[in-house]
Structure formats: C-alpha cells, structure tokens
C-alpha cells in the first residue's frame, strides 16, 4: 500500500455566515463562498477525504510539503507521516500550520476507515455511540433580535432547551462590538441565562480572550455565584502564569488551553503548572486526531477531564472515544441561523442531534462526513 496522489478540489457553495474584523462568525446575507476538499489516493485506488478552509490547503503547501512527505508512504503509517510533517513545520517558516496537519491526518484516518469498512471512532475504539451536546452560541453582536442584549441570550437559551440541548455555552461580546469588552455585560448575560434555564442546566462561559487578571478574577467570582460549570479563555493564553494564578484563586474549573500553539507539549505544561482544571484539545488546534488522543490520555492519566473544542466529524470522533469528557461542542449557534440545515456539499449533517440532546455518530465507513461528491464536482472553481 502506497500513497500515489494528494489532490485538492476547491468548490463554491452558498454561505449565510460572515466573519467580523476580529475573525468571529456572525449571521450575514447569503453569498458565494469557497471550501476545499483534500483527497489522498493510494495505489489500489482507495481514497480518504477531509473538508478544509481553502487557505489551509493552498497549492504551494500541498506541492512544497504534503506531497513530498506523503507520496510513496503507506497510508496506514499515520504516526510517522504526522511526525515528519510536524518536524517540517519549524523549517516551513510558519507556512505549514497545525490546521494543515490536521486536515491531512484526518484524510488518512478517513482512508483507513473507508478501506476497512469502519467508522473511524470504531477503528480507534469507541467509548460511546452518542454524545451529549452543549449548545455553543456565536459571539455577541449588535443585531436587533440577535445576540445583542442579555435578554436576547436568555430568550435564545430557552429556545435551545426546547431544541433538546441539556447544556449551553455562551460566547459573549468581543471586539469589534462597540461596547465590548465589558465584564459587567458578560455577567448580565450569564445571569439572565441562568435565570431563564434554572439551576440544573450546566452553563459555561467563553469570554473575551484578552481581559486583565483583575477583570478575569472578578468575572470568575461572579460565575461561581451563578453556578457556572467552567470558565474558558478570559485572558490571553500565551500567559500560562496568569492562568495558574486564576485557577488558584477560583473554585470554578478553568479550562484550557484552546488556541495556544504547542500541541500536546503545551497541554502537558498547563497541567503540570496547575493552569487548568479541565484540559482542552480540538483536531484543528493541535494537528489532528492522533495528537488529540495524546492530550485526552494525558489528562486522563492525571484524573482530569479534557473537553473537545469545536464541532465537525473529527471532533465528534474524539468525544466518542473518550471517557474523560462530557460533551460535544455543537455550534456555533445563533437565533438567525438554522444549524440543523445540511450544507449543499454534504448529504447529511455529521452531527445530527436528537430531541434529548444526544449527537449520534455516523455508521458510515470513514471519518463521518457524508460528502456530496456530485455537488462538489459540479461546482468546482
């Protein structure tokens, strides 16, 4: 078995999401958008696929690094391929990102799953076939009836409970919202949601990612009074000492790091430093499923839960093969968007949720994305 080709198809689709000047997603007018599908082919014609943002799999990255490492290798030798790509990141002058590693590695898992006729979560070794989701809101905005006020969050939280969610995470207001950041507004939204859902629904906050220590401490103490379940990324994660200080001063579990580079190395340092009470990984944050499994098992070895960041088939797979994590992050959600709608380039959502708030794993061979190849091939750019 040898890899013979790596290809990328870029295709158009209609999107109703836009990004603001700080990169946060919000609802927007329907517009033409681009997406990519990376495909790895081996010498018997088997294929593995992974969807990707276009910029992550640009031709110079595929030609300059990925093809060079992968062609001729056994597609089942994921660890060696991943180590060789990861080693090359340093010499790539920052071009080869963890996200690119993740896309390539997940396409290799997809190929293995398709070849063996197994969903990847069964191939790794399943812990469960359905995972409870928390509803993860988009960041706040200034849209009338959107997520502009604490009352908006409260109303939307009630709707989320009606949809079946049994836990909710708020992303509150961040720049460029005109009045953000403001920890007092965060507390008002958190209090309004607690009031709306009652005392028994687990709630989490992912606040502005750049508060000072004193603002972060004040906000954390208010969350404790409101019985919140975890406190996420209120400060810049580059300052691990600030998180160790925060965790030492609060009872509410502090979770992280989410976006700090360094893969499993960084997560190990945070656990050792006491900078988190819950660890965090996400396939796109740390370079794929393999490195995420290392983090999940590292946390488990310390008796610590590791909650997976972000949605999609790869992250759902992680939540299905771990004991030490409670939820799948389903989102990002907004009252103006229908998250359950199936994108044109898929035949089904990878993360269908039932009325009791459980997301069911796909039984299809591979990673779990039921890709609409006909749509993609008819909409190539």
Residues within the interface to Mg ion (CB under 5 A): 206, 258
As given in the structure block, the two tokens for residue 330 are 């389903």
Task: Determine, following the binding rule CB under 6 A, whether residue 250 of this chain makes contact with ligand LLH.
Answer: no
Residue nearest to ligand LLH (CB): 24
Phi, psi dihedral angles at 216 (to 5 degrees) = -65, -40
Closer Cβ to Mg ion, 114 or 280, answer by number: 280
CA 245 to chain centre: 26
* CB of 69 vs ligand LLH, minimal distance in Å: 28
Identified binder of ligand LLH from the candidate list 3, 51, 102, 139, rule CB under 6 A: 139
* CB of 111 vs ligand LLH, minimal distance in Å: 27
Closer Cβ to ligand LLH, 139 or 235, answer by number: 139
Closer Cβ to ligand LLH, 164 or 210, answer by number: 210
354 torsion bin: left (phi>0), alpha (psi -120 to 50), beta (else) = beta
Residues 80-119 that bind ligand LLH (CB under 6 A): none
Residues 335-374 that bind ligand LLH (CB under 6 A): none
Task: Determine, following the binding rule CB under 6 A, whether residue 330 of this chain makes contact with ligand LLH.
Answer: no
Cα separation of 324 and 321, whole Å?
A: 9
Contact between residue 367 and residue 106 where contact means Cβ atoms under 8 Å apart:
yes
Closer Cβ to ligand LLH, 115 or 171, answer by number: 171
As given in the structure block, the two tokens for residue 298 are 């590292």
Closer Cβ to ligand LLH, 70 or 131, answer by number: 131
- Binding at 188: pick from ligand LLH, Mg ion, none (beta carbon under 5-8 Å per type): none
Contact between residue 252 and residue 230 where contact means Cβ atoms under 8 Å apart:
yes
* CB of 91 vs ligand LLH, minimal distance in Å: 28
Burial bucket for residue 283 (CB in 10 Å: 0-12, 13-18, 19+): buried
* CB of 24 vs ligand LLH, minimal distance in Å: 4
Any residues with CB less than 8 A from the CB of 226 and at least 6 apart, and which?
187, 190, 191, 194, 203
Residues in contact with ligand LLH, shown as a per-residue x/- string from 181 to 220 under the rule CB under 6 A: -------------------------x--------------
Any residues with CB less than 8 A from the CB of 3 and at least 6 apart, and which?
40, 41, 42, 43, 70, 71, 72, 73, 74, 75
Closer Cβ to Mg ion, 166 or 309, answer by number: 309
Can you point out the beta strands (E) in the chain? 3-19, 25-42, 47-52, 130-137, 168-171, 203-206, 230-232, 254-255, 279-281, 306-308, 328-333, 358-360
* CB of 310 vs ligand LLH, minimal distance in Å: 5
As given in the structure block, the two tokens for residue 322 are 């771990």
Q: What is the largest CA-CA distance in the chain?
A: 60
Residues in contact with ligand LLH, shown as a per-residue x/- string from 38 to 77 under the rule CB under 6 A: ----------------------------------------
Cα separation of 338 and 97, whole Å?
A: 31
Number of residues that bind ligand LLH (CB under 6 A): 10
Cα separation of 358 and 129, whole Å?
A: 10
- Binding at 310: pick from ligand LLH, Mg ion, none (beta carbon under 5-8 Å per type): ligand LLH
Closer Cβ to ligand LLH, 99 or 309, answer by number: 309
Task: Determine, following the binding rule CB under 6 A, whether residue 310 of this chain makes contact with ligand LLH.
Answer: yes
As given in the structure block, the two tokens for residue 151 are 């009352």
At 133, is the secondary structure helix, strand, or coil? Answer: strand
| Cis before 31? omega within 30 | no
Residues in contact with ligand LLH, shown as a per-residue x/- string from 144 to 173 under the rule CB under 6 A: ---------------------------x--
Place of tokens 């990612």: 209
Closer Cβ to ligand LLH, 111 or 286, answer by number: 286
* CB of 151 vs Mg ion, minimal distance in Å: 24
- Binding at 172: pick from ligand LLH, Mg ion, none (beta carbon under 5-8 Å per type): none
**Binding footprint of ligand LLH on the chain (CB under 6 A):** 24-25, 136, 139, 171, 206, 258, 309-310, 329
């Amino acid at each position: 078995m040898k890899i013979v080709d790596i290809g990328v198809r870029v295709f158009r689709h209609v999107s109703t999401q836009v990004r603001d000047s700080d990169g946060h997603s919000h609802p927007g007018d329907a517009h033409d958008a681009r997406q990519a599908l990376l495909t790895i082919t081996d010498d018997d014609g088997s294929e593995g696929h992974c969807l990707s943002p276009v910029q992550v799999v640009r031709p110079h990255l595929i030609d300059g690094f990925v093809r060079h490492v992968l062609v001729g290798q056994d597609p089942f030798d994921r660890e060696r391929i991943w180590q060789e790509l990861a080693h090359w990141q340093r010499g790539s002058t920052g071009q080869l990102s963890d996200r690119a590693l993740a896309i390539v590695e997940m396409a290799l898992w997809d190929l293995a799953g398709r070849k063996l006729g197994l969903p990847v979560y069964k191939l790794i070794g399943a812990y469960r076939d359905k995972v409870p989701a928390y509803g993860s809101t988009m960041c706040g905005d200034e849209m009338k009836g959107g997520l502009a006020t604490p009352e908006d969050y409260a109303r939307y939280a009630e709707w989320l409970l009606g949809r079946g969610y049994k836990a909710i995470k708020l992303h509150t207001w961040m720049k460029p919202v005109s009045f953000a950041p403001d920890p007092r507004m965060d507390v008002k939204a958190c209090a309004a949601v607690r009031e709306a859902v009652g005392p028994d629904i687990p709630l989490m906050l992912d606040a502005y990612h750049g508060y000072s220590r004193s603002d972060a401490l004040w906000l954390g103490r208010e969350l404790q009074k409101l019985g919140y379940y975890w406190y996420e990324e209120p400060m810049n994660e580059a300052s691990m000492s600030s998180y160790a200080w925060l965790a030492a001063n609060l009872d509410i579990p502090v979770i992280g790091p989410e976006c700090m580079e360094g893969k499993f190395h960084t997560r190990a340092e945070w656990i050792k430093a006491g900078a988190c009470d819950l660890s965090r990984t996400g396939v796109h944050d740390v370079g794929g499923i393999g490195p995420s499994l290392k983090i999940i098992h590292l946390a488990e070895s310390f008796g610590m839960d590791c909650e997976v960041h972000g949605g999609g088939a790869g992250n759902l797979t992680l939540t299905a093969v771990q004991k030490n994590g409670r939820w799948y992050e389903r989102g990002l959600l907004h009252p103006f968007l229908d998250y359950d709608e199936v994108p044109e380039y898929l035949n089904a959502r990878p993360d269908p949720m039932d009325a009791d708030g459980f997301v069911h794993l796909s039984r299809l061979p591979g990673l779990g994305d039921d890709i609409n190849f006909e749509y993609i091939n008819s909409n190539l750019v």
